Structure 1
Amino acid sequence: MFAAGTTSAGCGKGAVAGGVVGHVAGKHGVAGAAIGCAIGHHSAKKKQAAANAAASTTPPAAAPATGTK
């Protein structure tokens, strides 16, 4: 379903939070965990994309002068 290495990106936190909310909402812990995992993964993917966009738009620092004339 996901590329190797990306299945857990955000899924752990989302699954825990979703499981707790689902359990409190009426014994729907498994469904809440599944939905929380999907939302957590989506959020992590958006955060990574934003970080990649910011890194690609930042101009490189100028090289320091060597001091020779």
Structure 2
Amino acid sequence: MRKMIACTVLALALAGFAGAAEAKGCIKGAVVGGIAGHAVGHTFAGAAAGCAIGRHQANKRQRDRDTAGQPATR
């Protein structure tokens, strides 16, 4: 019971620090990471890692799209 209360308090505290977040990649990554983490007994850690990785990949794809139309400079 204490663990659940501590997790709830931590989640609410972290939610207070969150600004306007873009979920590109995070939702899909969290689902995949949560499933993979569940297989090894770490569902929430897997979901958090999946979200971070999914967000990183989405940012990388966006950067690639933004620079695709620009000429290379040296």
2:20 alignment counterpart: 4
TM-score by length of 2: 0.66
Task: List per-residue Cα deviations over 1:21-55 (Å, max 9, x = no partner).
Answer: 00001x20000000000000000000000000002
| Aligned alpha-carbon RMSD (Å) | 1.9
% identity of equivalent residues: 47
Query: By how many angstroms is 1:20 displaced?
Result: 0.3
**Paired residue total:** 55
1:23 alignment counterpart: 38
| Higher helix content, 1 or 2 | 2
Correspondence for 1:32 among 33, 36, 46: 46
TM-score by length of 1: 0.70
Query: By how many angstroms is 1:2 displaced?
Result: 7.4
1:39-50 matches, within 5 Å, as 39-50=53-64
Which of the pair has more CA radius of gyration?
1
d(CA) in 1 for partners of 2:66, 2:39:
37
CA, structure 1 residues 45+2, in 2 after alignment: closer, same or farther (shift >3 Å)?
Answer: farther
Query: By how many angstroms is 1:19 displaced?
Result: 0.2
Gaps of 5+ in 1: 58-69
